[in-house]
Each structure stands twice: as structure tokens, then as C-alpha cells.
Amino acid sequence: MGEFELIRHYFAAAPCAQAGEGVALGIGDDCALLAVAAGEQLAISTDTLVAGVHFPDDSDPFLLGQRSLAVAASDLAAMGATPIAFTLALTLPTVTADWLQAYARGLNQMAQHCRLSLIGGDTTRGPLSLTVTVFGSVPAGKALTRAGAQPGDLLCVGGALGDAAGALPLVLGERSAEPAIAEPLLARYWSPSPQLALGQSLRGKATAALDISDGLLADCGHIALASKVALQVELDKVPLSAALQAFLDPAQAQKAALAGGDDYILAFTLPAAELPGLLEAGLPITVIGKVLEGQGVTLHDRDGKDITPVTRGYQHFRETP
């Protein structure tokens, strides 16, 4: 099967490839055309997943299809953007019909969940690699960014942390667990749900935001640096799921939540006056700390002692001591 037949057969005919709102021209031409309303800005982000680095070589292609789009769509949530479309660059070592069918089904399911239209991409031969670029729109001047946190703001997250990192022993086949524990952890790893509604609700309210992909402490460092402030995280306020606490011992669960990464949960700073209204709206918000004068990120125990660990999260290309 050639490149163009592959695209037509597995992707161009998928429900998510049919032009949706904001898509003036989809798959089939040299470029897609997006129609952004007056007064809106285009939000764009690209994520690449590589076999053996971001997922095991023998990963279920259906789950991989979901994950590859979800991690990119989470960046739209972090900016408070409304999803429009995405492109897919797919590098394959071989063309396998069963693998492609399953991957396309998973991709389509996540695309419909996120209301994203597939508008193009590319296919090449090589080591398995998946690159997704997402497009969204946000009212001009209303995008959430990492800069803007102010001393006195609350530091918040959009849900329990550490489940995806905690699931790694299950993903790698190193451990097993009963379904009541394993299934929610594996779902958070393979099918993260981008917090698009939360991100849009934070427009005009949150002062800074991002999605947690490399670990809470590491990613909060990006907000601290961009905003030129200090963030103080209170360990006993970091939310952990029941499944994670049942699967890992307390120290391991805390480490997964603080530095494990792959959560794709929003972390954001918020003036205290904005919190009650957001909670009344039923949004999943947990206050885990505060913004202070200074620089950097610190972790404190319930007695106020600084217990900041040396390792704060994952970084590509970091040299091993």
C-alpha cells in the first residue's frame, strides 16, 4: 500500500477527518484552511511521541492512538483555547493493516471526544514516531500563559496527580494489580482527558497556567521562571487518587505525584477571590500552595519545613550523573 492510499484508507475517511467548525478546507489539498473568527487568535502546539522513549514498542495501537492526540490537545487546554483541528505526521517501520486500523480507531475516538478535526499530515517510513500538531482558537488577549502569576495568588491543580507515572509498572508488565486498581491507573496513562472545559473557564480568572507533563515540581518551575515569582507547594495538599495510594506505598505515591509526569492535568495560579465562583461551578480545583515573592519552587511538609527534592521531573537530554 502506498502513502496516499494509506492516508485515504485509514485516515481521510474517518469521522474526525470530516470538516468541522473552524475548518474551511480539510484533507485533500496541499494545505488545509482554517477559519478563525474575528477577534480570535490561533493557538498551535506540536507533540512527538517516539517508540521506546514515550511508549513501549509493543503498545496497543488503539490506546496509542488515543494517547498521541490527548497529550497534544492538553496544550490547548493549558492555554484556555477552543479546539479546532489537528495534523498527524506518522512514521512507520512497516505498513500493517491491523495496527493501522486500531490506531486510527483510537485516534478518531479521542478526536471526537476533544472535538478536533483531522485536516492533514504526512506518512514516512522509519522508526515508529507520532507527531501531532493541534490548532485552537482563543479570544485575543485572553490566552492563559505561564507568565502573570502574582504574589498572593493561590497555586492550584485540576485533579489528582501521579496516576500515569504510577501506572508505568503496569504498562511495562513489571507488576499486576486487581482491576479496581489497575484500570483507573492505566486509563490515566493511555487515555488522559485534556481539561479543555477547565482551561476555557479559567480565561480572565487564572493569572498563569500550564499542563503537567514532566512532573508537578518541574512544570511549576516554568511558571515561576516566566512570572518571576516563587511557588510554594504544600505536600499534604497534593491530591492523590485512591487507586494510586492502593498500588504504591506512600513515599512512591508522593514521588509519582510530584515528579512522575504524564498527568496532563492543569496547574494554575489564581487570585483567592476567584476560587469560590469556580468551585460553585463544579470545576475540579484543588489548592496546593501559594505564590510568593522570590524565585523558584519549594516543597514544604505540614510543619512548614522545606523538603524540596533534588529530582523534580523528567527532562530530555539531561545527562545522568
What's 229's domain CATH number?
3.90.650.10
311 falls within a domain: no
- What average pLDDT does this structure show over 25-32? 87
pLDDT for 313 equals: 54
Percent of the chain with pLDDT over 90: 82
pLDDT for 306 equals: 94
- Asked if the model's pLDDT at residue 205 lies above 80, the reply is yes
Q: Are residues 211 and 184 in the same domain?
A: yes
- What average pLDDT does this structure show over 198-203? 98
pLDDT for 23 equals: 92
pLDDT in tens, 100-146: 999 999 999 999 999 999 999 888 999 999 999 999 999 999 999 99
Domain limits at 165? 154-300
pLDDT for 11 equals: 78
CA pair distance 169, 61, nearest whole angstrom: 19
Q: Are residues 124 and 215 in the same domain?
A: no
Residue 3: pLDDT band (50, 70, 90) is low
Q: Are residues 31 and 164 in the same domain?
A: no
Q: Are residues 223 and 187 in the same domain?
A: yes
Provide the number of structural domains found in the chain: 2
- Asked if the model's pLDDT at residue 316 lies above 50, the reply is no
168 falls within a domain: yes
- Asked if the model's pLDDT at residue 314 lies above 60, the reply is no
pTM, two decimal places: 0.92
pLDDT for 97 equals: 87
Q: Are residues 205 and 124 in the same domain?
A: no
Rounded to an integer, what is the distance from CA 248 to the centroid of its chain? Answer: 23
Helix (H, G, I), strand (E, B) or coil at 258: helix
145 falls within a domain: no
Q: Which run of H or of E encompasses 253?
A: helix 250-259
pLDDT in tens, 53-103: 889 989 999 999 999 999 999 999 999 999 999 999 999 998 788 999 999
148 falls within a domain: no
Task: Single out the residue in 87, 113, 139 at which a domain terminates.
Answer: 139
Residue 203: pLDDT band (50, 70, 90) is very high
Helix (H, G, I), strand (E, B) or coil at 41: strand
pLDDT for 320 equals: 39
219 falls within a domain: yes
pLDDT in tens, 222-268: 999 999 999 999 999 999 999 999 999 999 999 999 999 899 999 99
CA neighbor of 86 nearest in space, from 124, 117, 129, 65: 117
What is the pLDDT of the chain when averaged over all its residues? 92
312 falls within a domain: no
pLDDT for 95 equals: 79
Q: State the Rg of the chain over Cα.
A: 20
246 falls within a domain: yes
DSSP string, 126-195: SS-EEEEEEEEEEETT----SS---TTPEEEESS--SHHHHTHHHHTTS----HHHHHHHHHHHHS----
Q: Are residues 108 and 209 in the same domain?
A: no
Task: Single out the residue in 98, 115, 139 at which a domain terminates.
Answer: 139
